[in-house]
Amino acid sequence: MNRPVCPPDQTRIATVVGRRIRVSVRRGRGVPLVLCNGIGASLEMLQPLVDHLDDRTVIRFDVPGTGGSPTPALPYGFPCLAWLLGGLLDELGYGRVDVLGYSWGGALAQQFAFQNPRRCRRLVLAATATGALMVPARPSVLAKMLTPRRFTDTEYLASIAGKIYGGTAEDSAAAITQLIDHHRGGSGRGYLYQLLAGTTWTSLPALPAIRQPTLIIAGTDDPLIPVINARIMHRLLPNATVEIHDGGHVDLLTNAAEFGPAIERFLSATDPLPRSPARGR
């Protein structure tokens, strides 16, 4: 079956409460889907997933200090970022949305859903956890995430990809470096701000109040986010479904041909989704 042809993305700088945010919008049908990205990554790195979503409106943006969004003078937390994201959607003219959070962006997605229960219709959480209060990765893995060097040094990335990402990265470092080729800049200070935001926040107390239908996607071979974190979120979120796969941290992007349609099925469901037991593959 031929996929519908979508209009090209429109990328621009939007000004929200005095901050310049680089945002990309692919206009389509249905409830818009907002994508919240991983730490240090520019919106271009989400392109493989966007390519495997149907002709719905998709909104991507660079968090302050990444990609084409300038670094603010002071650090920020997830409540502030969720408020800023709401302002960005106001600026773009969008009301109710679905939100997908990948890795670090999963924290922002959870916070946005908590702060905006009427505005966030459905929630997708991929390769993510509950912030500072989570089952952590091994120290040797976490240490490699303290700097953005993997975005600028492809040889270094190739040498550590399997250790920090697992899954397809174990067998094909080329797929990971190809992803990084899409990356556009950012600052070291902006990366530090993102690290600080993640280490000073947790969603654990808020999860029972996030009542939106939620799809949790997690890999059993994810060194960064051990799969037990997905099971904890599944137990605490009132209306969650969890899909466990045998891949790693970046499979959402390197295997987007599989995950894109699964996400579409979840977002397109018309009936309320019953709470399900964990399902694995």
Active-site residues, by number, are 103
Give CA–CA dist 171/254, Å, rounded: 12
Tokens of 202: 């947790």
Give CA–CA dist 133/96, Å, rounded: 30
Contact 50, 60 (CB under 8 A): yes
Contact 214, 101 (CB under 8 A): no
The continuous run of DSSP H or E covering 157 comes out as helix 154-165
CB contact set of 144 (below 8 Å; sequence gap of 6+): 150, 160, 163, 164
Closest CA to 18 of 91, 94, 124: 91
Give the number of other CB atoms < 10 A from CB of residue 272: 7
Ramachandran angles phi, psi of 260, nearest 5°: -55, -55
